[in-house]
């Protein structure tokens, strides 16, 4: 097994999940993950593999987002409207879709640094790896994560509350 194969088998699932959560699109996430591993091929040596992979993937997303941010915003809006208008036959699927939509809104409400730190932590990166990937000081990662978690949960609960009120109003 080559180094790239080992890297791929070890980190691909976590990286794709991180990117999917970050981007909201699995195809795009897989594409960025593949590009990240291609970049890893060109590196002679990587000190901290996981931190390096997540940092490169984050930068790829950022660069890509800079290029055609307007187009992506437009498409994201369309996708959101489509999700909101989507009517699923099964109630459980609808609930899941609503949860996903609210989660997306909540995560998108975070500032970039908080969002990325939280997503990386969810993929098991330790504080030092997060600090390295995001170029933060290790001592500030705890504060960043606590702020991100609080805001994410509060934002999500607020969305949940407004959703419940809409459903009540619709029922009445």
Q: Which residues bind another protein (CB under 8 A)?
A: 17, 20-21, 23-29, 31, 64, 68, 72, 75-76, 79, 83, 96-97, 99-100, 102-104, 106-107, 118-119, 121-122, 126-127, 140-150, 152-153, 156
Q: Is 51 helix (H, G, I), strand (E, B) or coil?
A: helix
Block residue for tokens 């941010």: 69
For residue 33, the number of C-alpha atoms closer than 13 Å in the C-beta half-sphere is 24
Q: Report angle CA 72, 78, 83 to the nearest 5 degrees.
A: 120
Q: Please identify, using beta-carbon distances, which residue of 3 and 41 lies nearer to another protein.
A: 41
For the stretch 110-115, contacts whose Cβ atoms lie closer than 8 Å and that sit 24 or more positions apart, written own/partner, are: 110/148, 110/151, 110/152, 110/155, 113/144, 114/144, 114/145, 114/147, 114/148, 114/151, 115/22, 115/148
Least CB distance to another protein at residue 2 (A): 24
Select 6 or 26, whichever has its Cβ closest to another protein: 26
Nearer to another protein, 49 or 80 (CB): 80
| Least distance (Å) between residue 132 CB and another protein | 14
Query: Whole-number minimum distance, CB 85 to another protein, in Å?
Result: 13
Closer to another protein by CB, 46 or 76: give it: 76
Q: How far is the CB of 1 from another protein (least distance, A)?
A: 27
Please state the φ and ψ torsions of residue 25, each to the nearest 5 degrees: -145, 125
Q: Name which of 49 and 64 has its Cβ closer to another protein.
A: 64
Q: Which two tokens stand for residue 62?
A: 């950022």
Min dist CB 47 to another protein, Å, is: 19
């Amino acid at each position: 097994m080559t180094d790239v194969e080992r890297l791929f088998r070890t980190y691909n699932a976590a990286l794709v999940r991180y990117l999917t959560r970050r981007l909201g699109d699995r195809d795009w996430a897989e594409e960025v993950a593949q590009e990240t591993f291609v970049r890893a091929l060109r590196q002679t040596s990587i000190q901290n593999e996981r931190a390096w992979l997540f940092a490169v993937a984050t930068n790829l997303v950022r660069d890509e987002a800079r290029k055609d941010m307007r187009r992506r915003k437009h498409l994201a809006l369309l996708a959101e409207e489509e999700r909101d208008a989507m009517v699923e036959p099964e109630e459980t699927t609808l609930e899941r879709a609503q949860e996903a939509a609210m989660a997306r809104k909540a995560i998108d409400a975070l500032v970039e640094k908080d969002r990325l730190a939280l997503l990386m932590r969810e993929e098991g990166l330790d504080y030092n790896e997060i600090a390295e990937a995001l170029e933060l000081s290790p001592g500030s990662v705890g504060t960043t994560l606590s702020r991100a978690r609080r805001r994410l949960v509060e934002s999500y609960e607020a969305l949940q509350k407004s959703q419940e009120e809409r459903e009540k109003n619709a029922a009445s």
